[in-house]
Homo-oligomer: A and B are copies of this chain.
Amino acid sequence: MGDTPHLRLDVEVLDRNIAAMAQRARAGGARLRPHAKTHKCPQVGRRQLAAGADGLTVATIGEAEVFAEAGVTDLFIAYPLWVDADAASRLRALAGRVRLAVGCDSAVAGANLAGLPLEVMVEVDSGHHRTGVRPADAGTLAAALAGSGLTVRGVFTFPGHSYAPGAGRGAAQEEAAALAEAARAMAAAGVPAGVTSGGSTPSVAFAGPGVVDELRPGVYVFGDAQQVELGTIGFDEVALTVVATVVSLAGGRVVTDAGSKALGADRAGWASGYGRVLGEPDARVVALSEHHSTISWPGPLPALGSRVLVVPNHVCNTVNLAREYHLSSGGTWPVAARGRNC
């Protein structure tokens, strides 16, 4: 224990990841609006903006408030908020700096936002089947929103079905097709899409040039075990690890103090375990409790009390569990929007 488990952020790798994604977007002729729910940290967001990002994406009003407070002036809350009186008043305070999402074609959804002095983006479902209307219905929805006084800025989708082995390219193709169809429908309805926005870390390498003109990947900034196992990145692109101490070798099992309260409990059906170990590519986190990770370790076992760098499966949930980043260069940055779920 002592000061483990804690987050370690390799700033050199972070900066490489930020530069590489900025370059990829530029090469594809797309603007970049990274999803800040991954890092929840103004210091990281400012580096993304300095590298050429147009603005940031967030998931909640609370996250928008944290980044607006830090001076970010162009935020997209890519979430179909249900806006009550309190939320409306918080959103009014952010007017001019945030753009909202509408992810449902119920008349109630539009009515719920009516009167807010904010631009909105129509969400379409490109195959992830979570929120968003069918692309063919984007025109009708956009016209209804415009009719109720809202300014419709464009259309977006999240190709989350890219999170499966080999699925990145196909998800990107469906994303491009959905956004193109939605843009046509919106143009036909007299509400042209000024922005067509997409992107996820596993699909962004395949994002349709000329169709998807804004990209919103999040995880790329840190990388995680899911991206390694999807083949999106190599271990050398993992910037964020959880520093853990080996607390037990009983029964020949390597057990560390990085459990689900430090790593998060994410485990996709296709994942090889609950996380990986930096520098030990054949090790696997095979069992996870709140304060224990049991690691299958192929080589000579690490010593009791030694430290290992665990690569979490899903870094967004990992970061949300911590108060701060410990930087490889010394010092800390706060996870300023930790737990800002509403």
Contacts and interface: CB of A to CB of B under 8 A. Distances in A.
Interface in A282-319: 287, 289-292, 294, 303-305, 314, 316-317
Contact of A323 (B245, B246, B339): B339
Contacts of A262: 341
A81 interface: yes
Interface in A68-120: 79-87, 103-106, 108-109, 112
B82 A2 contact: yes
Chain A interface main SS type? loop
B108 A160 contact: no
A114 B251 CA distance: 23
Contact of A290 (B245, B260, B294, B317): B317
B2 A130 contact: no
Contact of A132 (B3, B106, B250, B342): B250
B339 A250 contact: no
Contact of A130 (B109, B287, B304, B339): B287
Residue from A86, A303, A317 with most neighbouring chain B CB atoms (10 Å): A317
A292 B1 contact: no
Given A2-B87, A133-B250, A248-B103, A290 B304 contact: no
Interface string A119-142: 000000100011111100000000
A130 B323 contact: no
Interface residues of A, number: 70
Interface string A31-58: 0000001000000000000000000000
B320 A261 contact: yes
The complex is assembled from copies of this chain, and their number is 2
Given A104-B249, A339-B323, A1 B82 contact: yes
B261 A317 contact: yes
B129 A304 contact: no
Given A106-B249, A305-B112, A321-B339, A292 B81 contact: no
Given A1-B87, A84-B1, A292 B339 contact: no
Contact of A125 (B251, B289, B314): B251
Interface in A131-160: 131-134, 160
A26 interface: no
A265 interface: yes
A59 interface: yes
Interface string A243-270: 0011111110101010011101111000
A266 B255 contact: no
A326 interface: no
A342 B130 contact: no
A336 interface: no
13 contacts: A1-B84, A1-B342, A2-B87, A5-B342, A37-B290, A81-B247, A82-B305, A106-B249, A260-B317, A261-B339, A265-B266, A290-B320, A321-B341
